[in-house]
Structures are given as structure tokens and as C-alpha cells.
Chain A
Amino acid sequence: MIPELGHFALILVFVLALALGLVPLIGAARGNSTWMRAAFSLSAGMAVFAAVAFACLEYAFVTDDFSVRYAATNSNSLLPIYYKVAAVWGAHEGSFLLWILIMTLWTLAVATFSRHLPLTMISRVLAVMGWLTAGFAAFSLFTSNPFDRALPIPPAEGSDLNPLLQDFGLTIHPPMLYVGYVGFSVAFAFALAALMTGRLDAAWARWSRPWTNAAWAFLTTGIALGSWWAYYELGWGGWWFWDPVENASFMPWLMGTALVHSLAVTEKRGAFKSWTVLLAIGTFSLSLLGAFIVRSGVLTSVHAFAVDPERGLFILAFLVIVVGGSLTLYAVRVPLIRSRVHFSGLSREVLLLVNNVVLVVAMSVVLLGTLYPLAYEAITDGGKISVGPPYFNAVFIPLMAVLSLALGIGPSTRWKRTSVMYLVRKLGAVFAASVVIGVALPLVVIGIFKWQVAAGSVLALWIVGTHVEDLWQQSGGRLAGLRRLSAGYLGMTLAHLGFAVTLIGIVITSHLSVERDVRLTNGASTTLGALTFTLLAVDRVSGPNYLADRGTVRVQGQGAAYEMFPEKRRYLSGGNVMTEAAIDAGVTRDVYVAMGEPLDDGGWTLRLHYKPLVRWVWVGALLMALGGVTAVTDVRYRRLRVRRDSAVATAATEPSA
């Protein structure tokens, strides 16, 4: 009964979404404010029923109702309760229901917090989000209904959640990622509404900015969590694989980052308008493309646990309607008027343009590398290749170097025009210091020279130095001065410092990590760098739903001695074998031990890693996300702010139709 209730609630979401897509638009076209206002209550209704549907599916999982086919294939009565709850989004159908729930919650958030916007604008924004929700709900109902029953003979026991997903990181990684993906639909909806009303102005950019920053912060966190999960759960010690599914989340991030910066120019200077609209459409389109790549099985990947051609076709059709439709609207409606904003060869506008160009080129590089195997297959009639890390690294790293250089200068430049001499006076010393320290410091600490390490350190110090210098100037060197700075400025600084932290983490861990595969019998020792590893014992232990061989490894060196416990688990219901690496995490380095295979003489193969600064990769990403959230809290977004001049501009450009 409860699953049918959930199914019915999902149908209601679909119907309400259709109504939300139509009624306010008709109201906006006819100037009927009652119909436009209906958008608010329809948004709320949609969110309520999406929550009901989701709760019903949760109920089926928590109560082990294996007559629901989706629960039977993805849960098991032995599963701990928190994994039962998370198992709901462990596979395709449930994760899509989560996607719909998040979509309706974003819609509700927009309806709640942007209520003060002009009714013609906000009703159209919500209508666009209604179309999107209707599309997602139809996809769920027609191709992947999570409430389908396995009747007439329901299985007595579920076949269990994929053990890879039985993990804390993976329980929160998909929701974060989805909140980010779906969050970009707000910027998309604002862009479309602006195209429809012809109101492409600074006010529009200001309304979009906090939503875009929030979505971007969530996506950043989601990607970082995914990378962290891959690092400790897959047992290879890697944290980024340029896998199609990782790329699928990275592309919207790159374009979303460009959008965040482009919106700044549009808000402050009224420039880059059509470019910003294009980025808003592009960012959300890439989110949808990511969904297509993951769900359709077009590209084979380690992540593709839901592969179904029918679903792929549906998403492709949806993609054509949404992206094709919005790009057509863009081509037809974007004003051709050249913006009357002027800026010279060196100005903040130009630096932000560099940022945009580099990020969009980087995105295109990833897109090309991700789609190239497809093109190759189409041309060679079925040949399969995959594009690997060498390609991505070769193209990506130089681009990031350019970005880092520009990133140091950006905040110190002024709008319109900045003189070269001013910059040299302001940043010359910082530049010299970062070059000297960046080359010398790694040399002193690790004793060997690697140009990649030196270059990475110089760039990271350059970013940190320039931002600290600017912070010092802006605050007048006093702590009290910091409080006067806007949340927008502080958020930007935090995010940029986070970028520097991630940058140095990536460079150091990529070039200075060491690893060894060793065979150890009980009591035997081996060394890795300054550390000595001794295998003390391998014991049989049992967890709630698995049996494991658990090694006890003693690590000595660097003034410390401790024991680590890597496991090799065999899950009872599926027979899957999983490697649980033992990780001794630290600020300066991680020590990572993973069990390999048992040997005939009673020993084991072990994989040992020493990874300096690897945590910095994720800590930096979290700082970036924190910066994004900080910027959202800026008071200027909360002031009542339909400026008179922009209202006049609207009246002038509002199409007569």
C-alpha cells in the first residue's frame, strides 16, 4: 500500500509540474497576476508530494519490503539501518527520485527567497523549473519507476547494496553532487526567463548570482567527496582517474566556475551579457549531459551501474528539447546591441575574460576527451578506445598554470582600466618572493629539485601572496578592518586560497608520492622511504554482513610507531570481495596500506603508499565551497533592490507581444 501511495505522489508531482510549467506562463503572457501567483503554491505542492514519494520509498527500504523490486535488488535485511536509508539512492531509480526531490526543493527555495522579484520575472523562472521537473518526473514514471512491485512472488531476501557503496562517503556524495547539478537549473531558469522577458540587465545577474554560487559550492563539495571516496574505497590510492563519469561532473563545474565569474562582470559592469546567458545555459546542459553519460551506458565506465538504452534515449530526447530549445531561444532573442561598456587592455574585465576563456577551453578539452572514444567508434565502425590521463594531463596542466597566473593578478586589478605600473608596484615584491620561496622551500624540505614541484609551489604561493596582500590593503592591516569587508569579497578570497591549497596538494602528491607492492609473511618487514612496515598477523573477523581477513601492520619511523588494520572483505549476500584500505591520515602526508591477495605460504601481498599533502586536494576544495557559501550571505542580495533605472530599462525593452 505504501509504495502505491509513493507512486501516486510521484504522479501528482508530474501533474503539478505540468501545471507550474503552463499556468504562470499563460498568466505572464496575459498579464494575469492571479495565474502568475499560482507559481508559488504549485512549487510548494510539488515539493510536498516529492517528499511524500521519497519518504514512501525510504519506508520500503527501512521495513525490508522486498516486494518492491528496486528494494529487492538494492537492499538486504542484514544491511545496517543507515545503509538501508542510503541504499535508496544506491542505484538508478532511487537516485533519480532523489534528483526529483532536490529539483522540487530548489524550486521551492526560489519561490520562497526570491518572492520579492518582479512577478513577471519570478513566475517565468518558476515555470521553467516546472518544465524541467515535469521532464524528470516523466522520465522516472515511464522508464524507471522505483515503486514497481516484484509480484506475484516477491523474493524472501534482497540481493544487497553494492558493497562499494556501503560507505559513509558514498552515502553523501550523490546527494551533494545532485544538489549541485540541479542547482544550476536555477541559473538556467533565470537566463531563460530573462531571454523571454528581454530583461537581460545587471538586476538579472544579481538575482542569479547567489543561486549560482550556492549550486557551485555544492557541486564542488560533491566532486571532492567523490574523489575522497575513490581514494579510500577503491583501494588503488588514486584520487582522480579522468573517468567519463568524473568528467561528467567536472565539466559543469568548469563551466559553472566560468559562469560565477562572468556573472560578476555582468552585475558590476553590465558587460558580457550574452556570454553570461550562454554560460548559464551551457552549465546546466552539461549537468544534463552528465546525467545522460552516466545513465545511458554510451560510455563504458567503472561507475555505470545503471545501463539501459531506453533510458538513454529518453534522456537524449529530453536533452534535445531542453538544450536545443534554450539555445534556439538564445539565438533568436539575445539582443544584438553592442554593450556600451568600455574597458582597456588591462582591467578586471580582461582578467575575468581570461578566466572565462581558460575555463571554457579546459571544459572543451575534457568534453573532447570524453566524447572522442564515441567519435572514434562511429568512424571506425565499432572500434573501442579510451582516452587516458596522459592526454588530459598534457592539455589541462598548462591551462591551469595560465589560470593561476591570472588568478593572482585579478583581485588587484580595477574595473575599466588598471595601469601596469600600479600592478608592478603592488605585486612586484609578492611575485619575487613567491618565485624565490617557491623554488627554495621544496628544495630545503625534500632535498631534491623537481621543476614541476617548483612551478607548482611558485604558482600556489603567488596566489596566496597576492590575495593576502590585497586583504591587507583592503582591511588596512587591522582585524577590525576585516569585518568591514563584504561577504562577497571574503568569499572570493577564501575560494581563491582554496584553489591554491588544492593546487599545491595536487602537484606535491602527484610528483612526490611513493608506492610499493610487497609480499609479506607473518612477522616479516619491509621499508618504504623512512618507514618500516611489519605484518604482525592476519585474522578472520566478521562484520554485520561480511567476513574479512584483517591484517595487523605495524608502522615505525618518522618518530612514531602505530598499527594499521587493512581488510579484505567478502560480502555474504553477493559474494563480492572488497578491499578496505587502512589509512593513517595526516596534514603533511597519508600512509596507506591495502591488502592484495593471500599467498600459498600464508603470507599476503600488500600495497603500501606514502602520499604527501594528499589531504590538501580535498581541504582546498572544501575551502572553495566555503567561499561560495560565504559569498551567498552577502547582504546586498537581501536588500530590496529593484532599482528604478533597471525598472525603466525593462519597460523600454519589454517586448510588446
Chain B
Amino acid sequence: MSRASLFIPLSAFVVIVALLYAGFSLNDPHMLPSALVGKPFPAFDLAGLGVDATPPERFTQADIQGRPMLVNVWATWCPTCRAEHAELLRIHNETGLPIIGINYKDDPVKARAWLQQLGNPYEFNIVDADGQLGVDLGVYGAPETFLVDAAGTIVYKRVGDVNRTVWERELKPRVDALLDSRAATEAGAGGSAEPGGGPHG
């Protein structure tokens, strides 16, 4: 046995660490692969939350089309949703990007109170009381946020909270790309909402 052979365990360890580090930088646990990216938003027909005591109307997937928008899955029982609420408000106020809420497995009374108390960034809210739409969307847990293009195709999915960093790095570039290509299509084809955005990234 020579001294050099004693370094074999150390070398094996270096390889394992390199692998762990590589896996670590590759694998952002918030970027779970979603079978839904690139697919149309699943079909649904559900009641709205009826904020400000307006009678609840019904919504279908046809309401999630026509322009790029964020679809945010939230609930009052979810502490992270409370944490990300301010950022959603900021995005809505500063960029005017429509945000649709899916109130997921929640108590509608509490949900309405929450929006009155914390402010309402949502254009409208869909009530998914039994989580059926959540199943179709492959929701792991609230909050989750989907970016949907004008054709109603899911472009990107975020598991976990949307914060300033996520907005700047992940969402904003994709939203800008969608808006640019949409402007380009409109200029060329005269304003039809054909799928011009397509999946980015």
C-alpha cells in the first residue's frame, strides 16, 4: 500500500461533492417541472368569490385568455400567501398586469375579509373550494403562480412565493417578452390575439 493510494477516499469524496454542488446549482426546488407548461389552461366552470358583496358570477377558462396574465393560487390559511400579497399588489399597481386569483380550498367569508383588509390585487377570484381545479393544475401547495399568455397557454409556473427577486428575474422578462411579441403580432396582423408569445425559456 503506497501513500498515494490513501488519497483514493478523498478523491471519491471530491467527486461526490462536485456532483452535489452541481445538483445544487441546477436544481432550484421551486422550479418543479410541470407537465402543464406549454399546455392550455385546464377547463373549468366555477363560481367567483363575489368581492364587495356583488353576487358571485361564474368563470370559465375563456376568461383566462386575450392578454398575458398571472394566475395566483392562494388561501387565507397559507402564511406564505400573506407574505407575497404585498408584492402582488405592487405588481398590479405598478405594471397593470392582470392577476387572477384562485381561492384554493378556503372559506369564502374569510377570503373576502382578507381582501378587504389587505387590499385586492386581483381582477377577479375563482373559488376552488374542493381543490378540483388545483388537481387539474397540478398544485403542490399554496401559493403557486402561473403565467398565462394571450392564447391561454401556461408559459411558466412558480411554486412558492412571488417576491421581488422572483419577479425581476423570472417573471418580468417573460411578461415583457409576451407583451413585445404581442405588440409585434398586432402591428403585423391587425390586432388578433393569436398565440404569438409561445413558451419562453
Q: Report A's interface with B, CB cutoff 8 A.
A: 72-73, 155, 159, 274, 278, 281-282, 285, 289, 292, 296-300, 304, 307, 309, 312-313, 316, 319-320, 323-324, 327-328, 330-332, 334, 336, 338, 371, 374-375, 377-378, 381-382, 384, 573-575
List chain B positions with a Cβ less than 8 A from chain A: 1-3, 6-7, 9-10, 13-14, 16-17, 19-24, 26-29, 32-33, 75, 77-79, 105-106
Q: How far is the CB of A383 from chain B (nearest CB, A)?
A: 9
Given A327-B9, A338-B1, does the pair A73, B19 have CB atoms closer than 8 Å? no
Q: What would 10 A/B residue contacts be, using CB atoms closer than 8 Å?
A: A278-B9, A297-B29, A320-B17, A327-B13, A330-B9, A331-B3, A336-B3, A338-B1, A382-B33, A575-B77
Q: How far is the CB of B201 from chain A (nearest CB, A)?
A: 12
Known: A155-B79, A312-B24, A336-B2. 4 other contacts (CB 8 A): A159-B79, A299-B23, A313-B24, A575-B106
Total CB contacts across the A-B interface at under 8 A: 87
Q: Specify the chain A residue showing the minimal Cβ separation from B106.
A: A575
Please, how many angstroms separate the alpha-carbon atoms of A319 and B27 in the complex?
Answer: 19
CB <8 Å contact, A72 and B79: yes
- The 10 A-B pairs at the shortest CB distance, nearest first, are namely A374-B23, A297-B29, A327-B10, A331-B6, A378-B22, A331-B7, A307-B29, A298-B23, A575-B105, A327-B9
A159 touches B29 (CB 8 A): no
Give the chain B neighbours of A72 by CB distance below 8 A.
Answer: 79
Q: Is the interface of A mostly helix, strand, loop or mixed?
A: helix
Known pairs A72-B79, A312-B24, A316-B24; A375 contacts B6 (CB<8 A): no
Closest residue on chain A to residue B10 by CB atoms: A327
Structural contact, B13 and A323, CB atoms closer than 8 A: yes
Q: How far is the CB of A571 from chain B (nearest CB, A)?
A: 10
Which of chain A's residues has its CB closest to B160's CB? A307
Bound together, the chains give a CA A72 to CA B78 distance in angstroms of 12
> What residues of chain A lie closer than 8 Å to B28, measured between beta carbons?
309
- A residues less than 8 Å from B6 (CB atoms): 274, 330-332, 334
CB-nearest residue of chain A to B4: A331
Residue from B14, B21, B23, B29 in contact with A377 in the complex, judged by beta carbons closer than 8 Å: B23
- Assembly CA distance A574 to B26 (angstroms): 32
Query: Which A residues are in CB contact (< 8 Å) with B2?
Result: 336
List B contacts of A323 (CB < 8 A): 13
A316 to B78, CA, bound (A): 31
- Given the known interface contacts A298-B27, A377-B26, the answer about A292 and B20 at a Cβ–Cβ threshold of 8 Å is yes
List the B residue with the shortest CB-CB distance to A292: B20
Q: How far is the CA of A59 from the CA of B24 in the complex (A)?
A: 36
Contact A378-B1, Cβ < 8 Å, known A159-B79, A327-B13, A330-B6: no
- Nearest B residue to A69, CB-CB: B79
Cα(A155)–Cα(B82), bound, Å: 11
Q: Contacts A330-B9, A374-B22 known; A300 to B3 CB distance under 8 Å?
A: no
Cα separation A395 to B132 with both chains bound (whole Å): 41
How long is the Cα–Cα vector from A327 to B6 in the complex, in angstroms?
Answer: 9
Tell me which residues across on chain A come within 8 A of B79, comparing CB atoms.
72-73, 155, 159
| Known contacts A316-B17, A319-B17, A336 near B24 by CB under 8 Å | no
Contact with B19, one of A278, A336, A375, A575 (Cβ below 8 angstroms): A375
Query: Is A378's CB under 8 angstroms from B77's CB?
Result: no
Shortest Cβ distance from A382 into chain B, in angstroms?
Answer: 6
Q: In the complex, which residues of chain B have a beta carbon less than 8 angstroms from the beta carbon of A375? A: 19
Residues of chain A within 8 A of B23, CB atoms compared: 298-299, 374, 377-378
